[in-house]
Amino acid sequence: MSKKIKKNKKRIDKPHHKRLHNYYKRTGFYMFIWESLKKAFWPIVAVVVGLILFNKYVYNINDGLTAMTETFSRVGVLITFFISETILGLIPPEIFIAWSKKTADPILNLAILATLSYLGGLTAYFIGRASLKINSVKNYLEVKMAKNLKNTSKWGGFLILVGALLPLPFAISCLTAGMIKYPFKNVVLVGLFRFVRFAIYAWAIFSVVN
């Protein structure tokens, strides 16, 4: 058996997780995760400092959140949040996280918010897939965005990870993943980092909201 055949056989026999590990290491996946986590630190600090300054010099946040809980029903707030998290993340989730602190069951409502955000992202993924049935969208992606989509497809998981952890609309990341036909099972797994983000931001926001 020639050396080339032995080399190819060895490459084929290598376990899938090792090949995946080598691929991620070679393409810089692990460094990307580390850099993303470091980048997530300062936005959290900015949110906390911003809330403190806003609460002190502009408007009492606690009064506003109390009014919000008294004016709008719990179901209404949750439905609004789910729609926002499905359609491009129009409303910052930090507002709803702060709202959950003022409710009778803050941890329960926080868990519901995190779940709705996660499900909203998955829904956005299917919206992205469905948009490919529109000829104008499909032609635009295949012709004018071909190069960008090729690069995005290479690190599709990174896109989901960034959307899940950083203060960027998670729905946009999932919508794009759907458009590039990124495997749904990977979106489901990587998207779980969304719960980590909610836990971290809740820890920071709960320390400010009374």
Question: Hey, what are 202's tokens?
Answer: 């809740």
The SS3 of residue 74 is helix
Question: Hey, what are 169's tokens?
Answer: 């609309």
Q: Is the predicted pLDDT of residue 151 greater than 60, yes or no?
A: no
- The residues, any chain, with a CB within 8 Å of residue 24's CB and separated by 6 or more, are 30
Q: Is the predicted pLDDT of residue 67 greater than 90, yes or no?
A: no
CA dist 122 and 128 (Å) reads 10
> pTM value?
0.67
What is the tens place of the pLDDT at every residue in 72-86? 788 989 998 999 899
Can you say how many angstroms the Cα of residue 104 is from the centroid of all Cα atoms in its chain?
A: 27
Q: Please tell me the predicted confidence (pLDDT) of residue 169.
A: 75
Q: Which of 5-9, 68-72, 89-93, 180-184 has the lowest mean pLDDT?
A: 5-9
Q: Is the predicted pLDDT of residue 199 greater than 90, yes or no?
A: yes
Amino acid at 61: I
What does residue 111 show for φ and ψ, rounded to 5 degrees?
-65, -40
CA-derived radius of gyration, the chain:
21
